[in-house]
Structure 1
Amino acid sequence: MRLQFFFRCCLPMVAALIVAGCSAPLPSTELPPARYIQPAPEFPGFFDYRGIVDLPIKTSGMDQAGIADLAKAAQIDFIFLADRVQPDGGESDFGIAGFTNDILFISGGAFEIGGSEIIGVNIHDPIKPNLTPNDLISAIHDQGGLAIAADPAKFASSADYGLADAMEVYSQHSAWTAQNPTALYFRAIFLGTDHFLSALDLRPDANLALYDTMTAGARVSMLAGMGAPGNMNVLGAKVGTIPQLFLFCTTHLIARARDSGPILEALRLGHSYASFDYLGYVGTFAFFAHAGDTIAMMGDEIRLAPGLVLKTELPAPADRIAMYRDGAEVASAENASTLEYAPKSPGAYRIEAYRGGKLWILSNPVYVH
């Protein structure tokens, strides 16, 4: 009788949960009706471009044109390519730089080194194998490229990435692989896509601590990266796909134009921030310092002076906004879309905004000196 009761009453509920978990293939990110590139607040002539950093195409099984079509549907403006470069120094495919189906692609490759990866951005020619980290970064710079240290907490030593131009402090792929595969599978069955992805939206404590240590003495850009898609097969449906992840998290670059030169310059200068769009689409965001007629955006420097104010402007209210100086919280606001603070000492100041206890927006610093 008990077994009959289970099959009669419980199995339908389980089936309903499974359908609920698998019936929402995309996050509920509310994109605008069409892509509208918004001007950057407070900075005339600059625009907010949203894109994907650290995308290995080969693991997706798609070509660049196919990826571009998916990016266009997700209203992505640019993609930084990062297929793994073979350690034997054989022929490397850094992708096709320029526009494919109206999406700007920046060529690049990922080099395994020091326990993690250095991503070479805007590189075109082969690089000799088995270089030291500093020599690898120098070889990337020799091509006019930029070096991104992916997941810095995994490096054997901070010396392995000390000369990098940027840090990928958040990696979707690392967040995925850190999960228990069985737990991931059952979450995919029983949870909707937003709730499933929220398990990957983890504040990267160790990487942020290393980043804050580094920015205490140098200007380094902060990015969020994608890495290889999960593509987990769950009851015949794929979870962790590129279309899902394109709507999950993006890196924004504040640049004068959507072209390789201005986009790379924005990356180098740290004119950027990251957003987890499944918590609310972010079309534009501002964090800046001003004193009189002087104004500085994320990544820029400004002198500590009487009347200096740091201000952030969000596209919508966050449950919590926190401002950090060299990794220590100095100001916060609850249920707010703005936060102002008059700094009392030099340092690297940055913003974190949260919704539902999850990281929503992560800014690059303004450097007060």
Structure 2
Amino acid sequence: MMRLRFCLRFCFPIVAALVLAGCSAPLPSTDLPPARFVSEAPEFPGFQDYRGIIDLPIKTSGMDQSGIADLAKAAQIDFIFLADRVQPGQGESGSDFGIAGFTNEILFIPGGAFEIGGSEIIGVNLHEPIKPKLAPNDLISAIHDQGGLAIAANPAKFASSADYALADAMEVYSQRSAWLAQNPTALYFRAIFLGTDHFLSGLDLRPDANLALYDRMTAGARVSMLAGMGAPDNMNVLGAKVGTIPQLFLFCTTHLIARARDLAPILEALRLGHSYASFDYLGYVGAFAFFAHAGDTMAMMGDEVRLVPGLLLKTELPAPADRIAMYQNGAEVASAENATTLEFAPKSPGAYRIEAYRSGKLWIMSNPVYIR
């Protein structure tokens, strides 16, 4: 009885306070600027760093593009690639893919996600019907025929690498996949007893299998690397929603380095791999650079450059990372601790990319520079 009274007196208030914190469902603590400021891309005059969301289905959210745009504006998002799941019998009109252009100052790129075995091919910049149940290569060709780009989502779940060999980009990280890979009960109790940042950190998992497949593919081809969102979960935790669109807009973004925030230059940046992903709950990223230079020659992420004497690879972070690692075809070749820069003189050809970490979690993930 004494133990019971002790628990009721001392333990219950603590649990109640934790539950109240869970009910409030606050946003991540990302330090956004007072207003959206588009940064110039370091080392590349004329290019800007635009923050956005890849792979966003909105039909199940109960919101329209205007409502999503208002949330994106509050999160200082510049663009959104739509990707509602296309079911058999759908995808037969352009309206199934969303409305292209600016809605409430946010650039929307229409698109849809097509199931292929256990994964998906996402078509972006779609405006014409696509027949359902096409074979993977035929689907990608149909996307390309109307000027679109094809993204292979979660490549480790495809039956064969041949199913996505013709894709323009690979979604190596998916928030939705990271969520579904975890125990629902554990997620629920984490949402109750942990703050938003700690809860979201459980979704910040390095996608080892997808990265291995990506590194294998980029050893012989140029393929853009992306991080996607997928559908928000909106898990009900004691009357509060966790895993909401406002929270996830501040969790992870894909950055495209483009000359302007308009359809053509944004699509070109995606196609060329002029991009990187950042987990912004670990620290807001306004600009980041990874490039090769030798004399007057400069090549940014996604570009090719020849291996010549004096060639250097360099990365510049907006703030210190606990650890920066550089990979060549998936093998680590250089690293730095508590640093904002890393420089390396490559000795052999390959696809070189950057990963930066904070508190043991992935913070920034770059596209490669290709040295041939």
Residue type of the alignment partner of 2:69: A
Give the alignment of 1:167-316 within 5 angstroms: 167-316=170-319
Q: Does 1:139 align with 2:128?
A: no
Is the 2:313–2:344 Cα contact (8 Å) retained in structure 1? yes
Is the 1:87–1:112 Cα contact (8 Å) retained in structure 2? no
Shift of residue 90, structure 1, vs aligned partner:
5.7
- For the residue of structure 2 that corresponds to 1:169, the secondary structure is strand
Shift of residue 19, structure 1, vs aligned partner:
2.3
Q: Distance in 1 between matches of 2:336 and 2:279?
A: 19
5+ residue gaps, structure 1, are: none
Q: Which residue is equivalent to 2:362? A: 359
Q: Does 1:36 align with 2:37?
A: yes
1:246-270 deviation digits (Å, cap 9, x = unpaired): 0000000000000000000000000
Question: What is the RMSD of the two structures over their aligned residues, measured on CA atoms?
Answer: 0.9
Aligned residues: 369
Q: Distance in 1 between matches of 2:88 and 2:294?
A: 50
1:107-154 deviation digits (Å, cap 9, x = unpaired): 000000132000000011110112110000000000000000001001
Percentage of matched positions with identical amino acids: 88
Q: Does 1:65 align with 2:66?
A: yes
Is the 2:82–2:110 Cα contact (8 Å) retained in structure 1? yes
Residue type of the alignment partner of 2:200: L
Shift of residue 348, structure 1, vs aligned partner:
0.1
Shift of residue 321, structure 1, vs aligned partner:
0.1
Q: Distance in 2 between matches of 1:288 and 1:9?
A: 56
- 271-280 vs 14-23, which deviates more? 14-23
Please point out which of 125, 147, 158 is paired with 1:155: 158
Is the 1:18–1:189 Cα contact (8 Å) retained in structure 2? yes
Is the 2:22–2:240 Cα contact (8 Å) retained in structure 1? no
Q: Which residue is equivalent to 1:165? A: 168
Q: Distance in 1 between matches of 2:4 and 2:220?
A: 66
5+ residue gaps, structure 2, are: none
Q: Distance in 2 between matches of 1:210 and 1:135?
A: 22
Is the 1:56–1:81 Cα contact (8 Å) retained in structure 2? yes
- For the residue of structure 1 that corresponds to 2:108, the secondary structure is strand
Q: Distance in 1 between matches of 2:4 and 2:47?
A: 66
Q: Distance in 1 between matches of 2:366 and 2:345?
A: 18
Shift of residue 23, structure 1, vs aligned partner:
3.3
Is the 1:114–1:160 Cα contact (8 Å) retained in structure 2? no
Q: TM-score, normalised by structure 1?
A: 0.99
- For the residue of structure 2 that corresponds to 1:185, the secondary structure is helix
Q: Distance in 2 between matches of 1:367 and 1:334?
A: 24
- For the residue of structure 1 that corresponds to 2:138, the secondary structure is helix
- For the residue of structure 1 that corresponds to 2:39, the secondary structure is coil
Q: Distance in 1 between matches of 2:22 and 2:206?
A: 24
Is the 1:299–1:364 Cα contact (8 Å) retained in structure 2? yes
Q: Distance in 2 between matches of 1:114 and 1:365?
A: 28
Shift of residue 89, structure 1, vs aligned partner:
4.6
- For the residue of structure 1 that corresponds to 2:268, the secondary structure is helix
Residue type of the alignment partner of 1:122: N
Q: Does 1:341 align with 2:336?
A: no
Q: Distance in 2 between matches of 1:5 and 1:318?
A: 44
Shift of residue 22, structure 1, vs aligned partner:
3.6
Please point out which of 115, 119, 122 is paired with 1:119: 122
Q: Distance in 2 between matches of 1:344 and 1:91?
A: 51
